[in-house]
Structure 1
Amino acid sequence: MLQLLHLPASALAQAARDASSPLLGAACFGAGAGPIPHPLFPLASVQVEPLASEPALCEAWSTQGPLQPGKTGCVHWCSNGDVLFAVLQVAEAVTANAAGVPPLQAASRAAYADLFTALDALGYPHLLRVWNHVPDINGESAGVERYRLFNIGRQDAFLAHGRTVSGANVPAASALGAAANAPLLVYCIAARQPAVAIENPRQLSAYHYPQDYGPRSPTFSRASLATFGPQHLLFISGTASIVGHRTLHAEDVAEQTRETLRNVEAVLQQAHAKGVAGIGLANLYYKVYVRHPADWPVIRAELQRAAGAAVHAIALQADVCRSDLLVEIEATGLQTTNQDLRA
């Protein structure tokens, strides 16, 4: 069983001391997060700033039972026997001498190669959910948009390690910006058994995007649905105002938010068809990436209109993978039930 906590960074150390519900891993956002004096779980320090009142915010995963932490290569991890939370980062300078390969592309390939090597060795080969933070994601290196270089490197590693890059076994994922001088940061949840990948009928699957968006398509599913005993976990990938494969409502943040939420609702409908009817817009945990901080009040109003005033949301300033996208929303749903998941 997993629980997802949204809490200020100042409360993370206290949460880590709760022996009844130990932390499997966490991500903290904002320069104010600082080091957490607790070595027993992997911590992703994400160089994007929160838009809420707290100086730094965290997203933490807690569980029950004994945990096993460790480090394999450059991958910090912790597992509870069913799932594993892992964090790694690669500085582009480390891979800058790769012959003929732009540093970010090489760093992306190296990060995922290290991750797959560790997951295979540990017996958790199936990625359920991945978060990527790419420094200067909308900039260019070697005349190529940096997000496209990231996609090339990521897919190279998938293929080299025998992973599929389309279809049922592709994980849910997000790729957002980070500070230009930050390392490439990857953190994830993996498992011994695969999840059920979910696509959105309103959107072309990202792994089938035409080459207008780069020489390699992004490697992620629109959502993944995992089951551990009586618990279902729905991981909804970073979602934006895209229908088919095209951006809609350029320069209109309210319409982009509404279109994004229509896409989230479409993914929920697909999950409901798999037997997970208890997860809806009102009980998701959201992470909202806002390109321009001044747009947050408009985005928040649309989110509250759709999901209710008590919505659980972390709002962060981050560049989105397309320069014409003003907002991206990801979400996580947890449901405990005795009903079996229908394949």
Structure 2
Amino acid sequence: MLNLTYGTLPSSEQTGSVFGCLLFGSDDAVSTGAVADLPCARVAMPRLDGVPLLCETLGGRAAIRGGSFKDIAYRFNDDVLFGVIQLDESTMTATSGSALETAAEQAYLRIFELLRAQGFPYVLRFWNYMADINGEANGLERYRQFNLGRQQAFAESGQAVSGNVPAACALGTSHGPLVVAFLAGRQPSLPIENPRQVSAYDYPEQYGPRSPLFSRASVANVGSGRHLFLSGTASIVGHQTLHDGDIAAQTRETLVNIRAVIGEAARKMQTHCALTDLDYIVYVRREADLPTVRAIVKAELGSTVRASYLLADICRADLLVEIEGSAQLPAA
């Protein structure tokens, strides 16, 4: 069993049944020691909805065990393993390429090595956060450097670089280390693509020397439960960004894409799946755009939509908003 909740920190009484968490907020908020014994991705990414901290908690049944491996903190039970690795680029010795490329490659190589050793061969979801994601160094945007390192690690580790690849997001912070969190299982997930979009792993070379590696969503069977993981979704049709500079149009296009992905998931699973089933995280590039984004999300998804808003940079400099989400679904 796996439960994802979005809100406050787990209490000390709850941590025995928690795999780990992702903390979003200001530097002061995410430095809390309340989850010191858990794998915790601390992301300096301020909330925009008047609450200092967002905690995305992954919980399960008891009998959760933990450990550490090559800078990875992890916890697991018989069904899933959740882990977090944080690497400071300044400590990376880049034999070729950039420090970020080296950090990404090392992070992913270590993750795959751990999963082989622990017997969790299938990654269900990745979360990636890095500083200055749209900045340029050595003639290449940093997100594209990250993709170089990530794909190299996938290839070296014998992981698929197309087709059945995990759901994922990649967002930018103003500062901080490379943070990669991951959830892996004993069974493969079902990848979901968007019929309105080119699969990310098939992007043309104009988006960098190596393509991003993620499916638009995935459905995972975990114990007796089933979970939908919606990857970071934005205003992209085919492979191109639409509505440059128009936050309202980008938000609406993003929601059209989410409807398409959820519809495809429902078709593949042959079951009902609605947009209102999901909890969402909405990443907004410009704080001034929050009222517009929030109003459109509520108008399209209903006033009771469960959504948290964060200030973040998006993987393309011309994207102003990105939305991800998750849902617990009826068992197959």
In structure 1, runs of 5+ residues without a counterpart are none
Query: Quick one: distance in 2 between partners of 1:276 and 1:187?
Result: 30
Distance 1:38 1:256 in 2: 36
What one-letter code is carried by the residue in structure 2 that aligns with 1:178? T
**Aligned counterpart, 2:260:** 266
Per-residue deviation, 1:171: 0.4
Deviation of 1:107 after TM superposition, in Å, equals 0.8
- String of CA shifts for 1:39-60, please: whole Å, max 9, x gaps: 4421110111111111111111
Q: Letter of the 1:117 partner, please give it.
A: E
Q: Give the partner amino acid of 1:113.
A: L
Cross-structure match for 1:48: 45
1:252-285, CA deviations, whole angstroms, 9 ceiling, x for partnerless residues?
1111011101111111111111236343111201
Instruction: Judge conservation of contact 1:132–1:185 (CA < 8 Å) in 2.
Output: yes
> Normalising by the residue count of structure 2, what TM-score does the alignment of the two structures yield?
0.96
Question: How far apart are the structure 1 equivalents of 2:67 and 2:275?
Answer: 36
Q: Equivalent of 2:82, from 82, 85, 91?
A: 85
Unaligned 5+ runs, structure 2:
none
Is the 1:85–1:187 contact (alpha carbons within 8 Å) kept by the matching residues of 2? Answer: yes
Contact 1:13–1:36 (8 Å) recurs in 2: no
Pick one of 168, 174, 182 that aligns with 1:179.
Answer: 174
Q: 1:68-87 CA deviation, whole Å, 9 max, x = no partner? A: 11111111101121011110
Counterpart of 2:231 in 1: which secondary structure?
strand
* 1:201 Cα deviation from its structure 2 partner: 0.5
Structure 1 position 245, deviation (Å): 0.2
Retained in 2: the 8 A contact 1:278–1:335? no
**8 Å CA contact retained: 1:276, 1:335:** no
Identify which of 302, 309, 314 aligns with 1:308.
302
The DSSP-based 3-state class of the residue aligned with 2:288 is: helix
CA gap 1:69/1:276 in 2 versus in 1, 3 angstroms:
farther
Q: What SS is found at the alignment partner of 2:269?
A: coil
Helix, strand or coil at the partner of 1:50: coil
- Answer yes or no: is the 8 Å Cα contact 1:287–1:330 preserved in 2: yes
The aligned amino acid for 1:6 is Y
Q: Find the partner of 2:148 among 132, 145, 152.
A: 152
Runs of 4+ in 1 over 6 A off after TM superposition: none
Q: Which moved more, 1:36-45 or 1:125-134?
A: 36-45
Q: State the shift of 1:229 in Å.
A: 4.2
What is the DSSP-based 3-state SS (H/G/I as helix, E as strand, rest coil) of the residue aligned with 1:61?
Answer: strand
Which residue number corresponds to residue 63 of structure 2?
A: 66
The secondary structure found in structure 2 opposite 1:177 is strand
Alignment map for 1:98-109 (pairs within 5 Å) = 98-109=94-105
Give the structure 2 partner of residue 5 of structure 1: 5
CA distance in 2, matches of 1:156, 1:306: 39
Aligned counterpart, 1:252:
246
* 1:86-144 superposed Cα distances (whole Å, 9 cap, x missing partner): 1001111121x322321111111011111111111111121111010021000011111
Paired-residue identity, %: 46
1:22 aligned to which of 17, 22, 28: 17
Distance 1:308 1:277, change over 3 A: farther
Q: RMSD across aligned C-alpha pairs, in angstroms?
A: 1.4
**SS of residue matched to 1:49:** coil
The alpha-carbon deviation at position 13 of structure 1 amounts to: 4.4
